[in-house]
Amino acid sequence: MILGSQDDRGVGMVEPLDEDDPVQLGPYVLLGRLGQGGMGTVFLGRRAAADEPDSDAGGPLVAVKMIRPDLAREPEFRERFLREATAARRVARFCTAEVLDVEVESRRPYLVTEYIDGRTLAAAVREDGPLPSAEVERLAVAVASALTAIHAAGLVHRDLKPGNIMLSPSGARVIDFGIARALDAATTFTHTTIGTPAFMAPEQAVGGTVAPPADIYAWGGVVLYAATGRLPHGEGPGPVVLYRAVNEQPDLTGLDPGLRQLVAQAMAKDPASRPTARDLLLRLVGASHVDEPARPEPGPAAGAAHHAGGDTVNGDTADGGRDTSDELGAGEATTADPTEPRGSATTTDPPTRAATTFVPSRPRADRAGDGLAQTAAGPAAMPADARQPTRRRLARRFVGLRGGLVGENIVAVAPFGEPLAGHTGDVLSVAFAPDGATLATTSADGAVRLWSVGDAGAVAFGAPLRGHEGRVLAAAFSPDGRVLATGGGDHTARLWRLGAMTSQIADLPDPLRRSSGNPAAGPAGTPGGHRELGVAFGHTDQVTAVAFGPAGRLLASASLDGTARLWEVDRAATGPAAVHPVGRPLTGHQGKVLAAAFSPGGELLATAGTDHTVLLWDLSSSVPRTVGRPLADRGWHARSIAFFPDGRLLAVGAGFGTVVLWDITDPARPYVRTRMTNPRYGQVHRIAVSADGHTLAVAASGVAGVGGATQLWNVEDLARPDDLGQLPAGPAGPVRALDFSPAADLLATAGDATVRLWQPG
């Protein structure tokens, strides 16, 4: 039938053309509507006879897909659309809908495929119930044959589901193949998720790279659905279904024994454990023995300390699903029920060791408010004049209210002033200065902007800082606020000496002047007199994170080149002399490095990466070395890390709505203290801990077509962390950046080209 259609009716159900529909596209006369999908409208058509161009008599019936205007306007989409459609034409025609023609140069791009008469598998099961066993076997063979041909052409279906399988008189035929990838070019501006939650593979559910094993997983779900009428992971909201896909095993009861074992292998959590399409086909027709799974997956009741599968995410190969129970500490943590409206937390008692005892994470009375939580984009220490008990603690002022769209809890907060507009690209990082009076933002537009924060909002301060070539991914203030470090897509980290903000703040209207700010403690110089102090060269890929040590003389950077680096900052110099590499690059990760953070005392550096681990580096000697075993939990990318103020806990944002708190009181023997999960918020992008250690904020992607989310947890009581809910509104796409003010009375969030400030309601 149709490429890109979301309609699951039989193709014989043709509706009349709408008033606004064209009557002809190129040489194809349109006879009626077949359906409408995510990429456009599908028409029943026929190629007009050469001698009668206005007649509907001519060649055989075809399905004509007219691309949506907003997609058609994007040159990158058109280019990829043509490339993928051309590749799709190479797919062998058995068991698929043949691609006949493609046009991308006209005002209305379109794609033409073979017309297949019949019902979709979804419609057949919905109307008549599960298929008989013999038909299920024929379906399994036909779909495996189609995937073999699709993968042989270098394509991945990406959205295999019952609605994309036609039950024609000649057998099951797969449609919609080889075109979803073109939507990758459009996701930047549509913020859509490619795929259907009920049939998504775990690696697809968390936003990872989609390769042929994802189609194999979907094949297993399709066969299960055809045989039982059940969706692989049950009914429910999209986020809950995705959570189950990642964390739970499908119920295979009802499948014939001959298929059950093969479906179990196809739906393994680890993509590397799944058979190929060719293997499926050979086993189904009896040419190959159906082997036992290489690494059996635990059932739904298995201990949560088991590694949940080494997913292939962002192009990085998994670690093979190794068991990490020893790394997670003693005891089993029970997986939360995703049907509950609020998030859940599981705690692990400290392992029994003669040499160590657990120390509660909340600050001691003599250290209340001491220090500032470290993040990959945050400062390294709090100035002395800010080290006092917080007047308004978010954990006590943010109150969870029922009734949210995704999290079902909406935090009682109020916007603090108007959204900060000025960037022309998505904001990728935000960082408060140690005095709380300045906010730095970086963006995909290549600019770094500074904002003066008053009592009723914030205003831009000075001209944007420009020096990076390409997007700027990270920012961090020095402990005294006089230097700003940024990391960019041009493979460099840059240092900026900041001018004073005293005059700028004095000139603000009274409502915007922030009484809690301390202009006198700000950087010296003339207002707006910012200048580049130096550039750190050495990375060979994008710099994803920068962080200052607590003394301000040591800078850490992380990069997609798989390394972290240390730099000595000399403020008395400028240019190349202002920043010197310290030792060799830190090369312990087996993938890209996404985050770096110093412990409050500066004795440790934590780095996190796509190899699913966090490494702790001992900086007490001249040659940094890793200490303890890598921190790994369930095979997720560790995308963001944050130290708690007392340095005894490290928060790791990883996985689907999950943050893990590691107790590193003894860095040589770390263990999981608490795991907090709410799958409704989607993939974690950034986390931050308030300076009093009471509140943890999570920036997440959102799921199932819902915008990005900012989630808050009250972590005063580690035995019972409380999901406070999410902020009442988010951008259309993921929330990529957030940071607490040093006094924990403001939270900055960003996901689109604007920044929003929030205060307790």
Q: What residues are designated binding site?
A: 65
Whole-angstrom distance, CA of residue 520 vs CA of residue 501: 9
CA nearest 426: which of 659, 641, 656, 187?
187
Cα–Cα dist 124/429, whole Å = 49
Say which residue the tokens 């997986």 belong to. 335
Whether 159 is catalytic:
yes
Q: Apex CA 436: angle with CA 435 and CA 437, to 5°?
A: 90
Quote the longest CA-to-CA distance of the chain: 92
Which candidate, 599, 541, 601, places its Cα nearest to that of 565? 541
Would you state the structure tokens that stand for residue 299, as one six-digit string? Answer: 């059932």
From residue 660, give the alpha-carbon distance in Å to each of 242, 359, 523.
Answer: 19, 17, 36
Residue 75, token pair as written in the block: 């040159």
In angstroms, the CA 501 to CA 507 distance is 10
Residue with the two structure tokens 């500074």 = 450
Note every long-range contact of 295-303, with CB atoms under 8 Å and residues 24 or more positions apart, other chains counting: 295/268, 295/270, 295/320, 295/321, 297/249, 297/264, 297/268, 297/269, 297/270, 298/249, 299/249, 300/248, 300/249, 303/332, 303/333
What is the total residue count of the chain? 761
Q: How far apart are CA 63 and CA 166, in angstroms?
A: 13
Give 528-532 contacts, CB < 8 A, sequence gap 24+. 528/461, 528/462, 528/463, 528/499, 528/504, 529/499, 529/500, 530/450, 530/462, 530/465, 530/496, 530/497, 530/498, 530/499, 531/496, 531/497, 532/465, 532/467, 532/494, 532/495, 532/496, 532/497
Sheet holding 554-559, edge to edge: 543-548, 554-559, 564-569, 579-581
In sequence order, the β-bridge partners of residue 697 are 688, 712
Residue bearing tokens 């799944």: 274
Catalytic residue among 54, 117, 128, 159: 159
Distance (Å) of CA 666 to CA 62, 286, 669: 68, 55, 5
CA 732, CA 705: separation in Å to the nearest integer?
A: 9
**Tokens standing for residue 288:** 């190959």
Q: How far apart are CA 223 and CA 143, in angstroms?
A: 9
* Known binding-site positions for ATP: 65
Active site residues: 159
